[in-house]
Structure formats: structure tokens, C-alpha cells
Structure 1
Amino acid sequence: MAKTYTWHRFADPGIGEKDLTILEVEGKKISFTRYEGALYAFAYKCPHASGVMADGWVDEDGNVVCPLHRYRFSVKNGRNTSGEGYFLKTYPVEKREDGWYLGMEKTGLFGW
């Protein structure tokens, strides 16, 4: 089944290439970076030990690096690229005529 999203408008984070920032979208903290000119959004905390991802950095291959244990995740799809097997939640981002939008996956009554 295809994922469906609820889209939420957010302010342009105004960040440079490989910079990291945090914005609150619909009451949820989301990390953002810009890589190769595109804007990416992903979880606020690392899935391993809850390090704040915006306190890390983006490497030359487009991986966000957790500041605690240096686990690496692709900003494009959240896949762990350093071999530990974790997955970082990512969010789709769209630039529209009236601003930036972040997609949050719709879930049913019980979170399915």
C-alpha cells in the first residue's frame, strides 16, 4: 500500500549547504539540512542513543552523522551507512508556490 501524507507548511530554514537546524512542524521537532542544493528533513534524535542529530554534521557523501557515536545515515532515505543496522526516519519535503511543505505519514487509529 502506498504511503499517504498530510502536508504541513513550514518557514524556509534559510540554511546553507551541509548546515543543520531544527524546526518545529505541527508540534514536532524536525531536523533539516541542505545537501547538493536540496532540502532534507529527518528525525530530531538518533534511533540508537537519542543524540540530537542537528548537533552532528553532514559528511562529504551526504550522510548525517550522530554526535554521540558517529553513526551515519543517508539524508536522502535514512539508511544507516556505517553498518549498525538502524534506520533514521526521513520526511518528504516539497517546495510549492506558496512555500515549503513537509509530509507527515498518515496513520490509522492504532498507528498502522
Structure 2
Amino acid sequence: MWWKKQAEEWVNAGPLLQWFQPGEQGLKLAEIAGKTITLAQWNGRQFAFAKKCPHAGGILANGYIDAQGCITCPLHHYKFNMENGRNVSGEGYYLKTYAVKIEAGDWWIAL
């Protein structure tokens, strides 16, 4: 049935050190289970979300994380909470986010 949400599947995205060095903050594109997503690390926390901004398709890995920990799109500077995808700059868009957990040094992402 089209209205039922598909069950999430936890996918091993590889070692944390494969994506970020200790203490490194930033954004990276990753190919996980055939899907390109953005990985982020900020203030010791890990996040995963859509590759593109829901407004105009800007590649979010080309943006930046602001001082409040929000991902900022490189095209029109729309800002999103990396944890829940909520648009914090007021435009009303939502960013697709994925749950992340780190186990035994590996990224696990719920796709």
C-alpha cells in the first residue's frame, strides 16, 4: 500500500575513519547501498541526510555547517537542522534525514 512507510533498514556505511579524521568537522558525499547521501560530522556528532537541498537541488556537501550546527545550502543559503531536517531559515522546506548510530567504530545509517 502506497501510504505505508517502508521499514527502515540499518546499513553499515563503513568505518568512521573512512569518512572523517578524529576531530574533523565537515560534509562528505557517500554512496551507501546504491544511494548518494550527505554525511556530516559536527561537534562530535554524526548526521546523514539527502544529497540535495529540497528547494533548488544544491549539493549540500558543497555548503557548510554554520555556528549553530545547521547545514547551509550553497545556492540560496537555506538552513536546515541536520538532526530533524527542519528548515530553520523560514522557507518551509524539509530536508530528508536518516538516523545514524556509531557501533564498533562503524557508521550505521537507517535507509
Question: TM-score band (shorter)?
Answer: 0.7 to 0.9
Percentage identity across paired residues of the two chains: 40
Q: Deviations over 1:15-39 (max 9, x none)?
A: 512x110110011111011122011
Q: 1:26 aligns with which of 13, 33, 43?
A: 33
Q: Residues 10-25 of structure 1 correspond to what in structure 2 (within 5 A)?
A: 10-11=13-14, 12=16, 13-15=19-21, 16-17=24-25, 19-25=26-32
Shift of the 2–26 alpha-carbon distance from structure 1 to 2, 3 Å rule, reads closer
Q: State the 1:97 CA deviation.
A: 2.4
Q: Residues 1-112 of structure 1 correspond to what in structure 2 (within 5 A)?
A: 4-11=7-14, 12=16, 13-15=19-21, 16-17=24-25, 19-97=26-104, 99-104=106-111
The letter for the 2-side match of 1:85 is G
* TM-score of the pair, normalised by structure 1: 0.85
Contact 2:20 2:41 in 1 (8 A): no
Aligned residues: 103
> What's the RMSD between the two structures over aligned residues?
1.8
Which stretches in structure 2 are left out of the alignment for 5+ residues?
A: none
Q: Deviations over 1:34-82 (max 9, x none)?
A: 1220110010000000000000000001110000000000111110000
* TM-score of the pair, normalised by structure 2: 0.86
